[in-house]
Each structure stands twice: as C-alpha cells, then as structure tokens.
C-alpha cells in the first residue's frame, strides 16, 4: 500500500472518532504549546536583556568597594586623582570617573520629592550613555570648580515643576543646598532601571562638600574595545589595591559588561531550558495519551487487522498503518500546538513588552519532536497490532 493511501486511511480513522482524537491530541497540543511559549518568551527575554546590556555599552566596566573588614572606609575610597593616575598608567582605558550614590531630598517652592542622587564627573555621561533631553550634562571643569549645578531626569523635573514647565536655570534645594538645574536627561527605561524613578546628578566635588566626604565607592569606566574590557578592569582594580593598600585583595571587586552579558545569557538559557523541560513533561504525558488511545484503537480494530492480513497485508503493512496513524495524530497536535503557542507567545510578549520573534528552528524542532512522540508512543501499539494472530483476530467480536 502506498504512503498517500496510508495517510488517507489514517486521517479517516482520526476523523471518524473526532471527539476521541481531539481529546487525545489535546495533550500534545498543550505540551507543544507550552514548549513553544516558554522558548519564544525565553528568547524574547534574552534578546531584551542583551539589547539593554548592549545599550549600556559593552565596553563598560566598574571597580567598586565590596567589603571592608577593618572599617576604615575612607582609606579605600577613590577619587579624581585615582582616575587621573589610572588614565596615565592603563593604556586601554578610554574614560573613567568616580561615582557615589546616595539619596537626597529635592525641593522647590511648591514641592518636595526624594530622589536618588548620583555624584560623578563629566565623563560619566559618555560612559553610562546618559541621554540629554534639554540643556547639558555638567563637564569636568564644572566639577573642578565645584559649581553648584544639577542634572535631573525627566521624572524628577515633572514631579518638581509640573509636566511641560521650563526647568533650565531654575534653582532647587538638594539635601538643603541650593543648586541650579543645567540639564534634563531622559528617564531610564528597561528591566535594569527598576522603573521610572526620580534621579539627580551632581558633580562629585559638590558631593564632597555637601556630604563631607573625600571619595567614592565606585569607579565607572570604558575600555577602548570590548575585547580588552576584562583585562582593563583587572588592571584598574590592581592599581587601586596598590594605591590604597588593600594587601589581602579583598576590598575591591570589578565587573564588566562583557562578562555580565555572558552570564546573563547563560542564566536565561538555563532558565529557558529548565522551564522548557518542565513543559516537555506535558508533551510526554500527551504522548502517553496517544499510546493509550492507539492501544484502544488496536483492540477495537482487531477484526479489521485480521481481515487485512487475510486479504494480503503483511505484518509490516499493519505496523506501518498504526504507526502512521499515531504519527499523524501527534503531528496534527504538534501543528495546532505550534500555532496556538505562537499566538499565545505573541500576546504575552506584547503584554510584558519584550520582542517577539518566530524562530524557525523552534517550529522545526517542535514539529520533529511531535513526529518523534507519535512514532515512539505508537511503536508499542503498532507492534501489538502487527503481532496479532490473524485467525484469532478474525474471530474477534
């Protein structure tokens, strides 16, 4: 019997028991759907994370104080002088600035808000890719002359002055100190920004006077190229260890974007794999459903099998007939699952605002996998059908 005829027979068999077939393939549909959703969203999430990390600049690195056991923080704090020496001695550094974080209150005549405050030097804007909407970011000379200026983000500007107000050259009180707004930057978006929060940036020299400090906990910098960022970050850390007498090499840590991207990639990959595997279990359950119904089908059609053997079907023909039926059944489920999975994934991606893309390998693998499930779980019932004794089968009522 040729393949076309066999597939036709299989489809007819599936069609005759519409409800039963539908319930059987439901398991496969749900399994494939779950796998597709997980993989598609996992991929989307990964693209999103990678895109964002990339936008932060893949040349980015930071050296920061991680733990101070002797309690002598001042000794380990870093400043512009450290940066100057680093620039002189480490050849791969493109830019480097000290960065201090704190939170402060920001006040105008009409309103008071709390915001996170970043104190740094002028090059920070390039290093961290700060997007200026109005005015300008402060520069190195602003820092050198300790000008009382501030750059605020759009969120803080809107909160303090109201949406659409002209904020440039306005005075605000920052932690009780009068400063002038010289620029507004775009609010950060994306999963790492932790939402749209009010932020302010001041020259670090101003921070020193405001907070009676003489250094920062962190240095942010960029390397000249992506390939050198790891090496540069390590060198910078080593210089800090030497300059600040970190003999045990425990105080400073460093991080670089390239490494971060790789580990993020790995983490999302593993997560996708784990959730995908769990989703795969439902596919397994679906497969067992197919096997179950094929066994029922073989029993129901015992007499048919006997007849077919009597008129000249060989065992291989019988085997093939049932294998094709289980494969067609499960492939059908797989295809419906792929379509529903894609639709669901697209909807979910749209809802949580991550990029959606149909990956051809995923579709292909899901199809092949459902074929494999059909063959694997059809094998036993089909073999059972093929091994029936035709005389008993013909007598079966």
Partner 1 sequence: MITIKQLYKTYDTGVVRVEALKNVDLEVPEGQFLAIMGPSGSGKSTLMNILGCLDKPSTGDYILDGVDVKSQDEKQLSKVRNQKIGFVFQTFNLLPRLDCVRNVALPMLYAGISSTYSKEHSLAALDKVGLLDHARHRPNELSGGQRQRVAIARALVNDPRIILADEPTGNLDTRSGIEVMALFEELHQQGRTIVLVTHEPEIANHAQKIIHFRDGRLVKSEQVANPVRAAQQLAELDEAGEVAE
The minimum distance between CB 328 and partner 1, in angstroms, equals: 16
8 A C-beta contact, residue 198 and residue 153: yes
The minimum distance between CB 383 and partner 1, in angstroms, equals: 14
| Under rule CB under 8 A, residue 275 binds partner 1 | no
Contact mark string toward partner 1, 317..346, x via CB under 8 A: x-----------------------------
| Under rule CB under 8 A, residue 387 binds partner 1 | no
Among 130-138, 147-155, 299-307, 323-331, which window interacts with partner 1 (CB under 8 A)? 299-307
User: Residues near 124 by Cβ (< 8 Å), separated by ≥ 6?
Assistant: 97, 99, 118, 130, 137, 201, 220
What does the CA dihedral 279, 282, 284, 286 come to, rounded to 10 degrees? -140
Which residue is listed with tokens 């048919």?
A: 304
C-beta of 17 vs 259, nearer to partner 1: 17
Tell which one of 19, 163, 311, 351 touches partner 1 (CB under 8 A): 311
| Under rule CB under 8 A, residue 4 binds partner 1 | yes
Burial 228-243 (b: 16+ CB within 10 A, else e): bbbebbebbbbbbbee
| Under rule CB under 8 A, residue 390 binds partner 1 | yes
| Under rule CB under 8 A, residue 194 binds partner 1 | no
The minimum distance between CB 5 and partner 1, in angstroms, equals: 6
Handedness of CA 306, 310, 314, 317 (dihedral sign): negative
> Shortest CA distance to 207 belongs to which of 269, 342, 117?
117
| Under rule CB under 8 A, residue 2 binds partner 1 | yes
Tell which one of 7, 22, 224, 307 touches partner 1 (CB under 8 A): 307
C-beta of 153 vs 321, nearer to partner 1: 321
Tell which one of 219, 308, 324, 334 touches partner 1 (CB under 8 A): 308
| Under rule CB under 8 A, residue 396 binds partner 1 | no
**DSSP, residue by residue, 273-286:** HHHHHHHHHHHHHH
Residue 251: count of CB within 10 angstroms of its CB: 23
Count H helices, E strands: the chain?
A: 14, 10
The minimum distance between CB 2 and partner 1, in angstroms, equals: 7
Among 71-79, 148-156, 271-279, 386-394, which window interacts with partner 1 (CB under 8 A)? 386-394
Give the whole-angstrom CA distance, residue 123 versus residue 78.
Answer: 16
The minimum distance between CB 38 and partner 1, in angstroms, equals: 39
Which regions of 187-313 does DSSP assign to beta strands (E)?
199-203, 218-223, 252-256
Which regions of the chain does DSSP assign to beta strands (E)?
60-65, 93-107, 112-120, 132-135, 149-153, 171-174, 177-185, 199-203, 218-223, 252-256
8 A C-beta contact, residue 177 and residue 203: no
| Under rule CB under 8 A, residue 391 binds partner 1 | yes
| Under rule CB under 8 A, residue 388 binds partner 1 | no
Tell which one of 303, 340, 384, 396 touches partner 1 (CB under 8 A): 303
| Under rule CB under 8 A, residue 310 binds partner 1 | yes
What's the token pair of residue 6?
């066999």
Positions in the binding site for partner 1 (CB under 8 A): 1-2, 4-5, 12-13, 16, 303-304, 306-317, 390-391, 394
């Amino acid at each position: 019997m040729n393949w076309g005829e066999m597939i036709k027979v299989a489809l007819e068999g599936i069609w005759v028991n519409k409800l039963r077939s539908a319930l059987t393939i439901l398991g496969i549909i749900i399994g494939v759907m779950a796998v597709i959703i997980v993989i598609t969203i996992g991929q989307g999430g990964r693209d999103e994370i990678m895109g964002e990390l990339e936008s932060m600049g893949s040349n980015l690195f930071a050296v920061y104080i991680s733990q101070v056991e002797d309690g002598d923080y001042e000794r380990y704090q870093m400043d512009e002088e450290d940066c100057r020496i680093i620039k002189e001695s480490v050849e791969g550094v493109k830019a480097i600035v000290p960065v201090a974080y704190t939170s402060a209150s920001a006040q105008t005549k009409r309103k008071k808000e709390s915001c996170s405050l970043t104190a740094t030097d002028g090059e920070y804007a390039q290093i961290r890719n700060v997007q200026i909407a109005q005015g300008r970011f402060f520069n190195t000379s602003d820092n050198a002359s300790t000008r009382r200026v501030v750059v605020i983000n759009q969120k803080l500007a809107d909160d303090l002055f109201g949406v659409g107000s002209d904020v440039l050259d306005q005075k605000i009180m920052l932690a009780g100190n009068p400063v002038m707004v010289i620029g507004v930057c775009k609010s950060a978006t994306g999963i790492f920004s932790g939402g749209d929060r009010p932020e302010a940036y001041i020259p670090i020299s101003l921070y020193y006077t405001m907070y009676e400090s003489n250094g920062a906990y962190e240095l942010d910098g960029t390397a000249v190229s992506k390939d050198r960022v790891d090496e540069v970050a390590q060198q910078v850390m080593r210089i800090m260890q030497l300059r600040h007498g970190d003999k045990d090499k425990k105080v400073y840590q460093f991080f670089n974007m390239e490494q971060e991207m790789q580990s993020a990639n790995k983490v999302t990959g593993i997560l996708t794999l784990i959730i995908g595997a769990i989703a795969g279990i439902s596919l397994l359950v679906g497969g067992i459903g197919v096997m179950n119904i094929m066994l029922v089908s073989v029993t129901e059609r015992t007499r048919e099998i006997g007849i077919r053997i009597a008129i000249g079907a060989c065992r291989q023909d019988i085997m093939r007939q049932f294998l094709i039926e289980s494969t067609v059944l499960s492939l059908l489920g797989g295809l419906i699952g792929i379509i529903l999975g894609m639709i669901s994934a697209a909807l979910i991606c749209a809802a949580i605002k991550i990029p959606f893309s149909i990956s051809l390998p995923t579709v292909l693998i899901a199809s092949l996998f459902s074929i494999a499930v059909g063959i694997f779980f059809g094998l036993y019932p089909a073999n059972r059908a093929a091994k029936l004794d035709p005389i008993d089968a013909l007598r079966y009522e």
